[in-house]
Structure 1
Amino acid sequence: MITLAWPWLLLALPLPWLVRRLVKPASPQIGTTLRLPFYRELAAAEGGGVSRSRRWHLWLGWVAWLLLVLAACRPQWLGDPVELPMVGRDLVLAVDVSGSMEQEDYRLRGRTVTRLDVVKAVAGRFIESRAGDRLGLILFGTRAYVQTPLTHDRETVRTMLNEAVIGLAGRDTAIGDAIALAVKRLRKQPQDNRVLILLTDGTNTAGSIPPMAAAQLAAQAGVRVYTIGIGGGQVGVRSVFGMLLQRGSDLDPATLRAIAQTTGGRFFEATDAAQLEQVYAELDRLEPSVRDKRTFRPMTALFMWPAGAALFLSLGMAVSSLPRRVRATRAAGVVNDVH
């Protein structure tokens, strides 16, 4: 559709008429005049039609003025609305890929899988549900690495998570470094939308920053940390006789709970796949996606068309007035000859 950005400028349309009606014409110069008794015959001989020509120039002048006012109103063509990416939270997932994550003590779809496999399945569905959020992925073991920076591309984040392998970042667990790295990525983002979900199955055994010191940094930067402890149940150990189940786990729930409390988050523990599903469902409830739909209508300026038409009309009026000027010059020459 065509709209006018400044429609109030249409009020200038009657301005020339008002000036002509309200402003007094300039006083004619008083001087010596010469009467020509045959002036009408001279005008007729030169072609006549002076009043008709002035009438056409007057109408063309009004049309040119109308076009100039229309151009000043900034006409523009608005296209169909285009939806922009939805504005949501900045959410980073920090996933433990240390050596203990290869323990096969979870069951998924009726078969025994590693801890990392169940995390990939459950967290992958969580990633897909976060429409509108910017997601990032950190993998940590002995060191912490940014696998995916903050992005709206959920498919890429899920793909990078699915491609993670045990020991990619080392066999130990650097929880503090993972939190500090996430804070570094989130601290420049808008406040109240900075969220870190940290998932681990062990205690901090590596890294240069203690977990609680990193939690203090997160609290100062306004980053809410939700910690998820997995394992904690029966640990699977393979032997020549098959799978043996033994009690014991390296999980440190006290530290994970303290990290969450310090930053305003919550601590969850999931000893099986169903509990992990419930954890991510609860996270969806606690940190819902902010689905603020925004639209954009592409705009194309059209002011150059009426402005160009007014320019051509003005040029046409100037060219058409040349014969009249020539006639006036000839008439002046005749008067000079008579004088």
Structure 2
Amino acid sequence: MQRKLNLLLLLFSLIGGAVAFVIGELMLGRLLGDWPSILVVGLYFGVVALGAGLGCLLAEMISPSLNGWSWRRRYLGLSWKLLPLSVALLLGAGTLMEFVYELNFGGLRPVKDIVMVIDDSGSMEQSDPGNSRYTAARDLVMRMDGDNRVAVLTFSDQAAVVQPLTSLGKAGNREQVTTAINTLRTTQGGTNLSGALSEALNVINGDSSSGRGAMVILLSDGVSRLDTSTELRDYVDRGIAVNTIGLSISDPSGPALLKAIAGTTGGQYYDVADANRLADIFRQIYDRLGDRTLLTERTDNTQNSPYYAALRVLSLVLIGAALGLGLGIVFDNRHLAKSFGLGGIVSGLLAGLTLEFGLGGHAFVNAMVRLLAVLLLAGVIALFTAVVPVGEGRLTRRGHGAKQPSRRPSQGYSPRGNRSSKGFRTADKDH
């Protein structure tokens, strides 16, 4: 049992982790949103296990300083066969922890109902002469999932319900909503934000379905009067976020009010100068809706939740421990499994903290944060053999090598010494 470090294993593990990161990012970009996120995250960590496992195995094949030359001669073939088991172990651990991470606890309800509140006052003729806001709303409806429900309201001096909450899972309903949006035109009048928000809440409250969360997207280009402390109380009590979009507002009091509405209700404010960007903003709001995975930024109503922050870190700790144990299984060595497993706990803790406090709103920064987390998982585990002693010790039953010949006492041999053929005892030799 010795503390030792295989620098080649550390290097190859980091290289394998980096290659796994590239493959994992391609999977996230192409599969997340189309495939179940539970499966995508599980596959991501499975690829990490494959990359790190291949790197460690190749390094010990070249220089078996941790597992010994006898392992290379007798058990290398078994290690290659055990590598898929390590990948399956981490795929299962990643899938399980992602499943737990996506559960809603403490009465938390996923947002499935979306109410679009669109300003059609006279000033919109200058702010949005091409009616891009209606195109953006129509495109968003076509993008929504089948388990979403959507409602459309317009407002100027008064608010009007264009389409009540409608399920998009039923045949023909999506076309019904888009047809209703196509009929909208700019009217005359002022900007009554108070009436618009009140009517939007009536639409939500008038629905009999329970267990569904709701969100409001409010678009306006004007200035209004609204007491956020009193008129938004029901929104706050119900946990309904209002995401606000300010379109070409020259009066600074307009954006200030929209920011206050979003901030009070837990939504976000978006400032847009060009109406042609509205489709991107609508899509961005929807894409951030309910986005909660171990590998991405939380953008739902758990964004600032200390519970889900701790759960992410704990999940990565368990995934790191599973990765370390899997590497020990690959080498069929209980001492390496212990060392790598403890290293996995530490590496998972560091990776979890990196993801929790590093992920933000920029896609490139998020990718670099994930790269650092993967390198921490792969690198810290490889370093831990310098902390926890390792030695030879199979996890499975030893293979059958050449049998050692049994020693039989020769004629005249006595445990007490050697005797000559005449029976005289000779002196024992010191060994």
What TM-score comes out, normalization by structure 1 length? 0.47
Q: When you count strand as a share of all residues, which structure comes out higher?
A: 1
Point out the structure with the larger helix share: 2
Tell which structure's C-alpha radius of gyration is larger. Answer: 1
Higher relative contact order (CA 8 A, sep 6+): 1
